[in-house]
Structure 1
């Protein structure tokens, strides 16, 4: 099977050091495999979006030497596909409407494990929709993190796939689009490692293939917070990409070439020494 990888940012701000690491890591893996590298804008959560950030991220990537092999897709244009997946799950009776409030779930730490809503139906407001999860262990092998397993029912319970507002969850949209784009390996930050069992369960329910996974180190601020959630998110300047690119390569355990003049030249030199099996074993990195 021909390798197909992707970089899938959310338009919640400009490109920063953490998202650049994810972009570079996914680009290197795709190019190392002589595969294709795609870009997908995960813009299905309008309340969290920052106007103009999607266009800014897409326009910045070529300046860092990375050009997608196919036109970028926007999840906001894929709602019909998510509707179809949702209907498939509903017809199979794998999902249920839920009016539970936080107080309803307080006794279980916010985790829903009943397979049905425990609150009375409220016909005056829309429900969220949850997918039932099995009382079994979902196991997978991560190319960097090694063997992983999660007992879905205990850890996350019946999770939401369509919110009260009608927005589809990241989990559902990601699974549907990875299959539609033919993604063979998902390379992303380790903050999404615990999302993978939920996505594998959705793949099984929808009859979709499960790609390979490789979760990269996170870039943290000096207080240990994920950089994208930090007030000091260190947005990077696309007009001066070399310093940021060298730092991204260093985070991935790759000694950056100090003589390269252009971003693509720097990446091509890194690619010649790159081996995904020799990436630094994932540990998060702090920046000042």
Structure 2
């Protein structure tokens, strides 16, 4: 049997908030309950969106919550040459091509790219995106909690961007190449990434690699109906007093615990979580609004 390798891969666009703590805990408990390895990767692909010092702050937060990662932290900003190497190979084979279509133009045609530049044989990538010719569309996949999930056909069939017109590498490409390189066997993350999962499985197939398992956790939603995210200005979790957020996040993930667990140390709570974690305890819904004020902690 292949050893379990999981990962938590935050972007350094701000400090960790409650939603990202849920993702970190879910991936950690799933890895450790399978006697596996838990990796941390900083997905610093988009410098304009990054907050100075956020990467270090994220690592300090994981330490405060006693989520100990295995091995060295990987930074995507140090792996650009690997992404470009794969793109160059696809360009040479005709699997990828340059595209000059703008977002406005694509929106005018229904919001999905229709392959306008696929056979134009454009050269030179200045002010052009690089797209991957879709030859392995994925219309559905099995999620470890939610079962068979469908991907919209128009999305699955689309030749998607692997390098943006501003020169930045696309998330879908980088994350798959990194997961393959690090030997990740299962991805545990928020339900907001269900749709990109289809494209990522397509990339595994196009690269000739065995696909992996996926488990999507419920999203923490704010009272305004938006997911808790850095983009929506979700507040940072407290590094100095981690227990309330830790217990609330575990409750969100379906744990039921007595007062003796709630009064234990952080290390004891984490160890108890690893021992008692089960996928079937997760809520069946993909979105939940947490109620922070109604708990005894």
12 and 267 in structure 1: CA distance in 2 versus 1, 3 angstrom threshold: same
- How much is the aligned-residue C-alpha RMSD, in angstroms? 2.2
Question: Which structure 2 residue ranges, 5 or more long, are not aligned?
Answer: 292-297
Provide, for residues 102-124 of structure 1, a one-character-per-residue CA deviation record: whole Å limited to 9, x for no partner: 33223322311226359996979
The alignment of Structure 1 onto Structure 2 pairs a total of residues equal to 288
TM-superposed CA distance for 1:274, in Å, is 1.4
TM-superposed CA distance for 1:60, in Å, is 1.2
51 and 153 in structure 1: CA distance in 2 versus 1, 3 angstrom threshold: same
User: Does 2:265 match 1:262?
Assistant: yes
TM-superposed CA distance for 1:279, in Å, is 2.2
State the TM-score, normalized to the length of structure 2.
0.90
Q: Match for residue 224 of structure 1? A: 225
CA distance in 2, matches of 1:270, 1:257: 13
CA distance in 1, matches of 2:155, 2:195: 13
156 and 243 in structure 1: CA distance in 2 versus 1, 3 angstrom threshold: farther
TM-superposed CA distance for 1:3, in Å, is 0.2
Provide, for residues 161-209 of structure 1, a one-character-per-residue CA deviation record: whole Å limited to 9, x for no partner: 1011211100000000000000000000000010001001111112223
State the TM-score, normalized to the length of structure 1.
0.92
Provide, for residues 52-71 of structure 1, a one-character-per-residue CA deviation record: whole Å limited to 9, x for no partner: 11100011102102100111
* More displaced 10-residue stretch of structure 1: 143-152 or 262-271: 143-152
Q: Match for residue 8 of structure 2? A: 7
What secondary structure sits across from 2:114 in the alignment?
A: coil
CA distance in 1, matches of 2:146, 2:290: 22
154 and 4 in structure 1: CA distance in 2 versus 1, 3 angstrom threshold: closer
Q: Match for residue 150 of structure 1? A: 151
* More displaced 10-residue stretch of structure 1: 62-71 or 277-286: 277-286
Q: Match for residue 86 of structure 1? A: 87
* More displaced 10-residue stretch of structure 1: 229-238 or 193-202: 229-238
* More displaced 10-residue stretch of structure 1: 56-65 or 249-258: 249-258
CA distance in 2, matches of 1:257, 1:80: 50
TM-superposed CA distance for 1:273, in Å, is 1.9
What secondary structure sits across from 2:68 in the alignment?
A: coil
Q: Match for residue 283 of structure 1? A: 286
* More displaced 10-residue stretch of structure 1: 216-225 or 115-124: 115-124
TM-superposed CA distance for 1:282, in Å, is 3.4
* More displaced 10-residue stretch of structure 1: 231-240 or 40-49: 231-240
61 and 146 in structure 1: CA distance in 2 versus 1, 3 angstrom threshold: same
Matched-pair contact (CA < 8 Å) for 2:14–2:230: no
CA distance in 2, matches of 1:37, 1:135: 30
CA distance in 2, matches of 1:83, 1:135: 21
CA distance in 1, matches of 2:245, 2:214: 25
